[in-house]
A = this chain, B = another copy of it.
Amino acid sequence: MNNSFLDKNQKRFVEELKEFMRIPSVSTLPEKKGEVERAAEWVSSRLQTAGIKNVKTMETRGHPIVYGDWLSAPGKPTVLFYGHYDVQPAEPFELWDYPPFDPCIKNGRIYGRGATDMKANVLLPIIACESWLLETGELPVNVKFLFEGEEEIGSPSLSEFMEQNQTLLASDLAVSADSGQMQEAEPATMVSLRGLAGVQIDVQSAEGDLHSGLYGGAVPNAIQALTNILDSMKRKDGSIAIDGFYEHVEERTKQEREDMNKNYTGGEDFKKSTGVSHIVGEPGYTIAEQTLTRPTLDVNGIWGGFQGMGVKTVIPSTAHAKVTCRLVPNQTPDEVIEKLRNHVGAHTPKEVRAKVIPLAGRAYPYMLPHDHPGLKAVEQAVQAVEKKTPAMLRIGGSIPITGLLQNQLGVHTVQLGFSVFDEGMHAPNEFYRLSQFQKGQKVYVQLLQELNNCLS
């Protein structure tokens, strides 16, 4: 199929992307519930425009899931396209040079929250299907679409939804567009993802805040107790000191490590892109290994006591922190949460009480078998358009859908998205390259054909 439809409609697609990005569908903020629903409606309407059938916005306990399908290719394989229409919060607003929810284009880049994660990528499979349907009246395979609105909060409703809709979602392969590549000139597909598990720690010392003039010197301080606990979680060398944390971690083979390190364009670039002065991390592993195949622990937030201007000589009676871990094959979220809980129990100073509350966002780590036919389809589609073989990336992030599809429906997922990892995902000044947007559409058009070739 030629790409004349794509070429003719590029302006429209960019306008659509802008419209989509203008909806501040921040899933973690309760006050944005209406906007998240508006984004679901937008996606639903866009699927219908593309000629997808049976489109519906389905309720969950949280934000809705948008489903649609086109199943008029009997005997052909069925492919489930996945994406999410929710975005991260844009705070702190003052760090943005562009309005986060009023996208603008500069030098071929579109700036705004959700640009690279992942509103542009959401449009790729939709546009590809639209192109096939308008040009040929049919698709090379049967397709289903599943777009969720809770990926940025750890997809808490997805497991139950899958449980309840097994037949609706049944398919031969899933394709996730929530993916990307290291460099603009290096197409890539992600073959492994880390998992995620975390807890909130709430420390209480006295019944209420106390005056350091009256009590200072003799009563415990909740913040200091919390810093004891947090400080005990990592060793000075960067390794994680949670008892048994590495117990089930699958070591990569020598060959795998060599391959990974060979493909990684390391050290100095990494410092430059992040602005950190020193790389830290588990001894004995390269940056590539640390960020892709090793488990991690980070304190994501901390708060307690007086945070205003000036001085308040209070001895805080409560303090709080959120801690999350990235997991690798064979760790499970439940196991890691249990280990975190035990560690906090063992390291809480006797003079305070600490509660450990599991956080909602959990994900299993995921690995695609290297000989999976879906991978071949992706390779061939990329090769056809870009004249390059995509890199097989291991990724440090987590996408709950992959583990859930595998565990609950027995469906593997291939990952094909056109984000580049320097595009400020989750950060201020997020952007997406419009050149990648166009390229991505062409590869997805090709992919529909290759999926039929490889899966049939």
Contact = CB atoms under 8 A, between A and B. Distances in A.
A183 B302 CA distance: 38
A145 B215 CA distance: 30
A185 interface: no
A401 to B, nearest CB: 14
Main secondary structure of the interface of A (DSSP, over half): loop
Given A212-B298, A290-B217, A304-B302, A312 B196 contact: no
A309 B212 CA distance: 30
Interface string A292-332: 00111011111111111111111111011110101000000
Contacts of A304: 301-303
A350 B205 contact: no
Contacts of A265: none
Contacts of A309: 28, 30
Q: Which of A88, A220, A287 has the most chain B CB atoms closer than 10 A to its own CB? A: A220
A256 interface: no
Interface string A340-356: 00000000011111000
Given A301-B304, A314-B426, A396 B217 contact: yes
A13 to B, nearest CB: 27
Nearest to A212: B298
Contact of A427 (B208, B219, B313): B208
A375 to B, nearest CB: 21
Contacts of A28: 308-312
A211 B316 contact: no
Contact of A361 (B89, B220, B310): B310
Protomer copies? 2
B311 A198 contact: yes
Given A206-B275, A207-B274, A300-B312, A213 B194 contact: yes
A134 B175 CA distance: 91
Contacts of A352: 277
Contacts of A89: 308, 312
Contact of A217 (B291, B317, B425): B291
A313 B30 contact: no
B276 A310 contact: no
Interface in A396-412: 396-398
B208 A95 contact: yes
A305 B316 contact: no
A305 B299 contact: yes
Interface stretch (A73-81, A166-174, A223-231, A382-390): A223-231
B216 A296 contact: yes
Contacts of A211: 397, 425-427
A31 to B, nearest CB: 11
Given A219-B279, A276-B351, A301-B307, 19 more contacts: A89-B308, A198-B311, A206-B275, A217-B296, A218-B270, A220-B278, A223-B230, A223-B301, A223-B321, A277-B353, A278-B350, A298-B315, A299-B305, A300-B314, A300-B316, A302-B307, A306-B322, A307-B320, A314-B426
Interface of A: 28-30, 88-89, 95, 153-154, 194, 196, 198, 205-221, 223-224, 226-228, 230-231, 234, 270, 274-282, 287, 290-291, 294-296, 298-317, 319-322, 324, 326, 349-353, 359-361, 395-398, 421, 425-428
